[in-house]
Structure 1
Amino acid sequence: MAESTTDTAAAPGAQQATIVLAGATGDLGGRIAKHLLLRGANVRALVRAGSAAPAVVALREQGAAIIEVDFNNEAELTKACAGATCVVSALSGLREVIVETQTRLLQAAVAAGVPRFIPSDYCIDYTKLAIGSNRNLDLRREFAERLDKAPIRATSILNGMFTDLLTGQAPVILFNFKRVVYWGNADQPLDFTTTEDTAAFTAAAALDATTPRFLRVAGEVATIRGLQAVAGAVSGEPFRLFRVGGLGAFGTVIKVTKALMPTTDDVFPPWQGMQYLHNMFTGQPKLEPLDNARYPDIRWTPVREVLASREQVLA
């Protein structure tokens, strides 16, 4: 995957900015930390006490300050947030994490006098969706309600689907069968942004004191037909469209799949990914207007480059 091209010079005021980052040991969080450090920020990475994950070592080697905390202890979190200019969350999980842990982090940020908070959203525009249409996005909406009541400035980053998922995890482009699978309308515009670009934009936003409540970005807006054309061009072989059915039928399949699967703590069970695609195919959570031009130093990675990188790996 091609990475964002960012100016490694520190942003104005970044040398004095201290960013508290929760979830820094995850894929997205680690990338956010990297881009914050490239921009000259002081990064405090919050990790669970006793964590010896390789990601912690990598963060320390890059220059981040590792702060061990008990995420259930608001006093420890408040101490870790003292003097910070922004708290950024890249936490991943279900209700205990997205709602409860983030709430404790929010309360700590407020108690410490931190002026800004960026929650762990990084998704399609859930504000346009009906409650109950997506479990994971409902959790983000629930936390957003608490966030909007807190005496702190908040900014959510909305980026559509991570483009990286198109290389295999999202069942849309089936490379082995040379098919592009979809439900509904093949001409519905869809938003895609790489994990790397999302991290670069989030880092820039964390150091920008003027951000609004929501920032919406899409590395590329593509239709199913557009994905078909790109996949064919990159592979050198024609891909065909496979319309499984309408959105009503897709909704029924999701309900049946969910009913047949045992209850687990899996954050992304198959039916959750199906819900996300269903939401996108409806067009309701389409991101607009886009804020791509807000930070001119960020180069947005097109779908073609992501798919081409997959072909290079397999070659």
Structure 2
Amino acid sequence: MEQAMRGMESSPLVVVAGASGDLGDSIVNALMARNVKVRALVRRPSDRLARRGIDQLPVAFEDSAALTRALGGAICVVSALNGTAPVILDAQGRLLDAAVAAGVPRFIPTDFCLDYRATRPGDNRNMDLRRQFAARVDAAPIRATSILNGPFAELLKGEAPIVLHRFRRVLFWGDADQLFDFTTKDDVASFTADTALDSDAPRYLRISGDQISSRGLAKLLTEMDGRCWRLFRAGGTARLSALITVARALTPESDAPFPAWQGMQYLRDMATGRGKLHDLDNGRYGKRDWTSASAVLASTLA
């Protein structure tokens, strides 16, 4: 036991902000599996984290001195914060400033999305926020790595209007052969943990658990289900853009991260191919067990 405690004391420290969320929780698990000492920054203690013996540190992001102390000794700060401008720009900006003040050498911002660098400014609010924060990160005296993974593969279970399980239809806009990137949260978390320990990680890393088109999804589901799944074309991307304009005009202003029109903006960036990932870095850390779209869909068909 004493030797195990000494080993933990000598382990590198990684601080995770947003550890109580789904992705943050998975990142914490992946880091602990690598014998990394984890400190979770939380608004209030989480029973789920406490049951796993994770060091939780309640801290107000508005308290810059306390936030700086909370990051002391870390080799990397991982942000898994989720929200709109008050979170992505303001709270995460304070986290970045505190990391610099604490002398933390590396920072992983909460990107975990499409390739926002290739999307058009003004087309997607959440991509615009990440683009704005990237400019701030690039101006800071800290080494940063953004992980781009496309949409989370869990959306295929029905959380997004792509796979319509009730009707055995795959809905698409534009071209049925446009490839999409899908990566599960656990795969993203595993790669993020490796990145946090990689002092030579570049500014951007691109990963995709599976690449498949709407047509490919319909074919895959037909093979898996034994029943015919058909494509359903909702229209071209111009029609989708018109619907986004109407939906946004009818939606009250809110800090909710995913109103209906925001999800539609993601679908547009997927359908046009502007957010598509290229030159993937999947093999950088030797990971081979990427979760396929068929593995994700298998549980829904069961």
What TM-score do the two structures reach when normalised by structure 2?
0.95
Post-superposition shift, 1:298?
4.8
Contact 1:14–1:39, Cα closer than 8 Å, also in 2: no
Question: Of residues 119, 127, 137 in structure 2, which corresponds to 1:129?
Answer: 119
Counterparts of residues 1-80 of structure 1 (less than 5 Å): 16-48=11-43, 51-52=44-45, 56-80=46-70
Question: Of residues 189, 205, 214 in structure 1, which corresponds to 2:195?
Answer: 205
Higher normalized contact order (CA 8 Å, seq sep 6+, divided by chain length)? 1
- The count of residues paired between Structure 1 and Structure 2 equals 295
Contact 1:20–1:88, Cα closer than 8 Å, also in 2: yes
Paired residue secondary structure (1:181): strand
**Residue identity in the other structure for 1:245:** G
Paired residue secondary structure (1:275): helix
**For 1:32-72, what per-residue CA distance to the aligned partner results, in whole angstroms no more than 9, with x for missing partners?**
00000000100000011xx24xxx22223323211110111
Post-superposition shift, 1:15?
5.3
Q: Give the RMSD, CA atoms, in angstroms.
A: 1.4
Question: Of residues 113, 117, 120 in structure 1, which corresponds to 2:103?
Answer: 113
| Identity among equivalent pairs (%) | 52
Could you say which residue in structure 1 is the equivalent of 2:91? 101
Counterparts of residues 194-233 of structure 1 (less than 5 Å): 194-233=184-223
Post-superposition shift, 1:115?
0.2
Contact 1:200–1:298, Cα closer than 8 Å, also in 2: no
Post-superposition shift, 1:285?
1.6
**For 1:104-147, what per-residue CA distance to the aligned partner results, in whole angstroms no more than 9, with x for missing partners?**
00010000000000000000000011110100111111111100
Distance 1:60 1:92 in 2: 21
Residues 209 and 14 (structure 1 numbering): CA distance in 2 closer, same or farther, change over 3 Å? farther
Distance 1:168 1:161 in 2: 13
Post-superposition shift, 1:208?
1.0
**For 1:269-288, what per-residue CA distance to the aligned partner results, in whole angstroms no more than 9, with x for missing partners?**
01100100100111112111
In structure 2, runs of 5+ residues without a counterpart are: 1-7
Distance 1:217 1:144 in 2: 18
What TM-score do the two structures reach when normalised by structure 1?
0.91
**Residue identity in the other structure for 1:199:** A
Is residue 2:287 matched to residue 1:294? no
Counterparts of residues 118-267 of structure 1 (less than 5 Å): 118-267=108-257
Residues 66 and 258 (structure 1 numbering): CA distance in 2 closer, same or farther, change over 3 Å? same
Paired residue secondary structure (1:83): coil
Could you say which residue in structure 2 is the equivalent of 1:92? 82
Distance 1:240 1:111 in 2: 55
Paired residue secondary structure (1:293): coil
